[in-house]
Amino acid sequence: MKLHFYKYQGAGNDFILVDNRENIVDHHDPELLARLCDRRFGIGGDGIMFLQNADGYDFEMVYYNADGNPSSMCGNGGRCIVAFAKFLGVIENETEFVAVDGPHYAKISAEGTWVSLQMIDVEQITRDGEAYVLNTGSPHYVTLAQQLKDKNVFAEGSAIRNNETYCAQGINVNFVEPLTDTDGYFLRTFERGVEDETFACGTGATAVALAMAAHNNQTGQITTPVKVLGGDLNIRFNYDGERYTDIFLEGPAKQVYAGDIEI
């Protein structure tokens, strides 16, 4: 059969999107999904998403990593599927949808290219040496770095993701460096499931903003710009010294192209 798909990107984090409201595609096939995400033998993408019906919500987001396996929450994927839902006419400018980590609220610009996505509240950050470890819908390791533009993120990130502590479940590894010209940060991320550096990671950018608030003893309403290889993201949240709430991941989400592929 032919699969009709759409390609979206959010700050360079790219995804295959499929309208599966009619349950046409049985997506419980890791080999097929990995082949579709392959950049040489398939469409290519950091992951693949299926937009499906869900009782009580505008839609359900079903997300798989590029290796074809089910994933935890993907922030940039969440923003892209909101833009996709607007394109399909499922929503207008606001939505309540459900993902693997629960319900999410999002708001999209009238042009359909800028999405503010509410993330789950975060109550706990732990330490692994000098690094911060937290879950923003996906597990993240956040460590400060110097001369980040020259760092071998693949080698160092893979080593941390596959060490004794994290190898069983995996973890996303974020290297972060303060920007000199703004109050924000430069971020590079090695993502589990993709098993490589990606151009952006939404839950990673969120994790960095929260971890740096703890690192700098900031509280109150906080806005943190985060620069990634694929562009610029913005994270805003409230931190009372113990709990992070009203967390929003904001950034671009754009349709790149549509097509058909034989599966």
In three-state form (DSSP H/G/I as H, E/B as E, the rest C), the secondary structure along the chain is CEEEEEEEEECCEEEEEEECCCCCCCCCCHHHHHHHHCCCCCCCCCEEEEEECCCCCCCEEEEEECCCCECCCCHHHHHHHHHHHHHHCCCCCEEEEEECCEEEEEEECCCCCEEEEECCCECCCEEECCEEEEECCCEEEEEECCCHHHCCHHHHHHHHHCCCCCCCCCCEEEEEEECCCCCCEEEEEEECCCCEEECCCHHHHHHHHHHHHHHCCCCEEEEEEEEECCEEEEEEEEECCCCEEEEEEEEECEEEEEEEEEC
Q: Is 201 a catalytic residue?
A: yes
Active-site position among 37, 74, 80, 167: 74
Active site residues: 74, 201
